[in-house]
Structure 1
Amino acid sequence: ARALDGVLAEFDPALREVMWGGDVRALNATGCAQPALFAVEVALFRLLESFGVVPRFVAGHSIGEVAAAHVAGVLSLADACRLVSARARLMQALPGGGVMVAVEATEDEVRPLLSERVSVAAVNGPSSVVLSGEESAVAEVVARFEGGRRSELAVSHAFHSPLMDPMLAEFRKVVGDLTFHEPTMPVVSNLTGALATAGELCSPEYWVRHVRETVRFADGMRTLSGAGAAVFLELGPDGVLSPVIRESVADGTTVVPVLRKDRSEETAALTALARLHVAGVDVDWRVFYAGTGARRTDLPTYAFQRERFWPEAAEPVAAGDGIDAEFWSAVEREDLDSLASSLDVDPDTLGAIVPALSSWRGRRRTRSTVDSWRYREKWRPLEDSFPAVLPGTWLAVLPAEGDGWARDVVDALGPAVIRFVPADADRTVLTARLAELTADGTEFAGVVSLLAALPDGLADTAALLRALGDADIAAPVWAVTRGAVSADPGGRLSIPGQAAFWGTRPGRGLEYPDR
């Protein structure tokens, strides 16, 4: 909080009211959005720094690189805020009319279609670019990618486009009066996608070009991954960059957003610290728990004492059969005198019967125990009525080539269905695409996957379950097969190869109990 207050003290006092007010439009206006983002990012960096989290590299996306340069010592707080204020003020003063649209396409596919009215504002991933410029010109380029995903960004101006040109001269004057210092840690450049040199970062012209040219974010993430960075920490008001980071870094890389808009700040930040700790990043937990009375406790490194603490399951006894329990206890003890007295018979007549009963009782108990470890399938016809439309938003995961029955299944889910076709089984790519579906706060009531009906359905469904977990989508999953099992004695198995999927079902139920 002190760090945030320190940053906000350098800006217009009205910024605080906008940040905690209810006027979303005012907050999205670049005159407030840029200072607000800078303030939050710097405050989060100082918070993590106070807990002993020290980065090897820093990078940012557009205005985020200014925050990265500040924490790396290139600009003092006062000068960094002067740069941000001028950048935001001059951009806000520009006339509107421009747009920014994220498009599923490669940079090579887009570049030949550009003109003086539209630019590539950012290359965020291998197949994720942002176009920026005049609305009609951007629309012409976007129309060439009809089959891919696209999303118009909620921005007030077309940043990193020709529409920024009128403010560059005035901005150059402001930046020319700032004092720059050599960085104390490596900074990744948005302009080149490589590690920035001290000469670049200390040049006013670098920051002028930074306003106008393409943000080469994907190149920067590849540079960091190639330099050995295995843990990426996103500092910002939400985890919007985490999915695109995963697209450009090595498999197995840990990507952690500090804040998430779908959970409280305290929960999100503490979860991020825990994930950093698990990934091997040093966290000073003494500082975190200071003043709470918490202390470190040494745990045994191995269970040498061999003590059992598992609860012992009691033998199930039906109500009212205490007398039966007493009888069977006597049988198992082979207490002939007690049994003879209870049955009012000669003990000699029980000599051959009681051992046989005891053995039978033991076999029954063993069979009952083993049966409790196994699953038994029983098919029952559905007789209840179901709602015509399922409540909530559902995610339908479809094969790339589906026939009529797949469409019928999706149509039966109702209108609130998001169709998703995995174009790539790669875990990182699949996770990133799924995370994009919930980036706007969408929560799924359920997931219906038709991948199990494919020839490679077992592997595809396993990849989907892992990616759903990585993308923090916790909705229950229904995997649909067709002709894999027989629901009645006379039923035919039209596609018996899918039975392999059913064989893994009990294990997956235990592995994913909430799904």
Structure 2
Amino acid sequence: FREVVQGLSFGEPRIPVVSNVTGRIAQAGELTSPDYWVTHVREAVRFADGIRALRVAGVDRCVEIGPEAVLTGMARTCLDGDEDAAVLLVPTARKGRDETEALLTAVAQLHTTGTAVDWSGFFAGTGARAVDLPTYAFQRQRYWLTATDGAPAAAGGAGLDAAEHPLLGAVVSLPDSGGVVLTGRLSVETQPWLADHVVLGRILLPGAVLVELALAAGEAVDCATLDELTLAAPLVLPERGGAQIRVIVGPRTAERRTVAVYSRPEGTSQDWATHASGFLTEAAVVAGSEWGEWPPV
């Protein structure tokens, strides 16, 4: 490696560079030595020290240029304190995303947080030009789509009963078996709080929500006690679009009903995935014991 590096020509960097060998901003002549790069190969990478050196230098915006957003996550773990919480970490490429879209998203994020962007260079050769904003007051006519709170649309028009639940839209009674099917849709657009539960980079529906769906189904059939619920597989939500939900309650047998939660990506014909299954029972009533009359008056 030394023989190869000695055959290269070096030039002083035009912008400051933080050395992964020392964890500080490199001095003049430091990066133009073959010995430095030999040491760079052999020694440990002082990434955390380098991030702290950037903070000491007043850097509060970091842009990752690489195939995936690996260093962005590592850099966040190297920061601490209230001042570091405001540091902006922007990846320019994300796994599974279109490269152009990911890069433009990064540029837009930097622009909206006060970073100057050379828009003339960005739009060079496209024919785009800057125009002045209108000088008159805009008419007060709303053109934006009305945001929803995640509540499903009314089900009466489709001959269904409303579920009266924020995550479930309709209830379908099955005449032949006495079972019940509750339907719904989950997405991070309509329920933004779901995006807070991220495991290994994927948005997972919390197990408590599966319990809530089973309890809601139980209330719809007057079996409000969840006797047992077994989680079979995690429900992974897409970053865009949503998932169709089905909660199926079986017929009553021996004062119990089966309950199961299924899902599949919307807009597809994939098989339904089972996420939880269990049993519902009627609420227990305490009577004829030392507790006396229940519930108490």
- TM, length-normalised to structure 2: 0.49
- TM, length-normalised to structure 1: 0.30
Name the larger-Rg structure.
1
Q: Per residue, is there more strand in 1 or in 2?
A: 2
